[in-house]
Amino acid sequence: MAATVMAAGCSAAFDPQGVADATKEEVTRVEPLSWWAGMKTPLQLMVYGEGIGSASVRAEGSGLKVKKINKAESPNYLFLDMEVGAPGSYWLVFSKDGREFKYPYEILKRENNPRESFTTADMIYLVFPDRFANGDPSNDNAGDTIQKVDREGNLERHGGDIQGIIDHLDYIKGLGATAIWATPVLLDDQDFESYHGYACCDYYHVDPRMGSNELYREFVDKSHEMGLKVIMDIVTNHCGTFHWWMKDLPFADWIHQFETYTQTNICFSTNQDPNASKYDLNVHESGWFVPMMPDMNLHNPFVLKYLQQWAIWWVEYAGLDGLRMDTFPYNEKEPISEWCKAVLAEYPWINIVGECWIESPAQLAYWQGGNPNKDGYDSHLPSIMDFPLCDAINAACCEAGDKPQWNQGMTRIYNALSHDFVYHDLSKMMIFFANHDHSRMGDNFDHNPAKMKIAMTLLATLRGIPQLYNGDEMLFSARPGEWNDGAKRIDFPGGWEGDPVNLFTAVGRAQAPELYASASEIHDYARALFRWRKGCKAVQEGKTLHFLSRKNVGPVNITDNSYSFFRYTDTDAVFVYVNNNLEPRTLDWNHYREFVSGPVTGTDVVSGEKVTLRDGLSIGPKEALIVEFKR
């Protein structure tokens, strides 16, 4: 694959003034942009420049040494294995065609600040930056980027940016969130649909329409000052067709290439199916996600190393608290396991959650690190996104109207949690009822605030790490007209100067027009739940005991649409009763005698009032009761 030569040694005395600076053509890029002393991860620099592959290289300074020079298939790349010593400013000195030229490189002092990653104690607020808030209109069309701002277009950029998130950190914290997951903010310079950030064109630079690397670090710092953790959304499976290296790949197999365009079959089961053909597996892991997203080849060791270092660089540079990995099972499973191991070796404390959009609990469990898989595979991925539970919450609230059949309605939640035995670590599962890839809940729930309150109740009290997508706390709906992802990812009213509605403020929510008539009601309900949750160990760390309600209440096979459960520790308990029926339900407290005998008095976590759990207590139609009490 790559030709390897031994590096030249350092000269005894080096005068930087005597060697010319590299021109932009001679050394166009060196990545990672910098590194740190004391890192466990070995440093491999990717150098790109015209004809640089024929150059010899040495490092000047006692704290940096070139150990190996690895040549690529393209004559315009070198991959340099480095030995890193003390922090300092160093020079990479290249010799080519009788000329020497130098390029600066920094080895920084590592801060080594211990951090806690996201856990079940957190509520993660998902922000879609381009549609959240425009904090700096001056960067709307920054640089020589292709797509410009057009708020009228569903698939165009709308101008939201990192400053917009910073400006509304108080809103996020006030809602009860303790962590922020922002969808990608790195350069996405596609000529179409670049607003979402998932077709990366430069792994080491924030999109100038979003801000800058320095502003991103400021965002993390200010979030930390407010007690908010920051999770970066990263993509290893694919880049964008407008990525700078697509015009000159280091190796032909840097990405997966076919004679004709081949799209992934999205058949995750090929990874564990003993009957699957190699052909199907290859199409799954090598096929492109969409035509604008080339599929990275993680079997190429230089690609894998590049992507490992990239994630580590951002964690160190920005002071990140966690990572969310897009399209995890689309990656080749052995290399992505090595990717996870490398990141965890550098940061044993960090949590990484992978998007594994799989409906089957058994197949989903396969992807969580430490799972006892029959084939011996270990992904080393700490956390997984609980898509089966997501589907169950949506189905429970939406399907079958108000007359659910035997396995419908709230029984869906019971059935979803009945599969908990297949998961390796329930505390490392992100739970949610929607994210940026789903329809808006206002549309799914028919603009019914009662349905949203039930979903919010489940999100706040079930096991796992809850994640809430921006705007769902006010029942956002998609733009009318064209039905695509861009229409669903609507602007947050009040995030742009001149917006007639400002839902970031209590006054704005109270005065909102009919489309957002329930915004204040649902927002305040969610805020009460998630602020309470921050101090509730029974929900954060406790076990679950749930009770099925399947008795017939009408014609044959029409069942009661309610669900009840306890979350508990040795000393504390929370009782949750969800009445998803159109009529009130009366509590039969004797039904729960295996957990508690006799009535108990606790606190209604929404109203703050004292409640005695006893026979005859009435729960209203389409309502939930959440009571916290001491055991």
Q: Which residues are catalytic?
A: 326, 355
- In 3D space, the residue among 526, 624, 567 whose CA is nearest the CA of residue 172 turns out to be 526
- In 3D space, the residue among 61, 31, 39 whose CA is nearest the CA of residue 110 turns out to be 39
Residues 6+ apart with CB under 8 A from 142: 208, 209
Residues 6+ apart with CB under 8 A from 559: 404, 405, 406, 408, 409, 411, 549, 550, 551, 552, 553
Strands (E), 7-98: 20-21, 29-31, 35-36, 43-48, 56-60, 64-71, 77-84, 88-96
CB 311 within 8 A of CB 32: no
Helix (H, G, I), strand (E, B) or coil at 627: strand
Q: Give the Cα separation of 77 and 390 in Å (integer).
A: 45
CB 237 within 8 A of CB 326: yes
For tokens 């990140």, name the residue: 320
- In 3D space, the residue among 619, 622, 624 whose CA is nearest the CA of residue 606 turns out to be 624
Q: Give the Cα separation of 21 and 93 in Å (integer).
A: 9
DSSP letter at 523 equals H
- In 3D space, the residue among 613, 628, 417, 473 whose CA is nearest the CA of residue 540 turns out to be 628
For tokens 């700078």, name the residue: 244
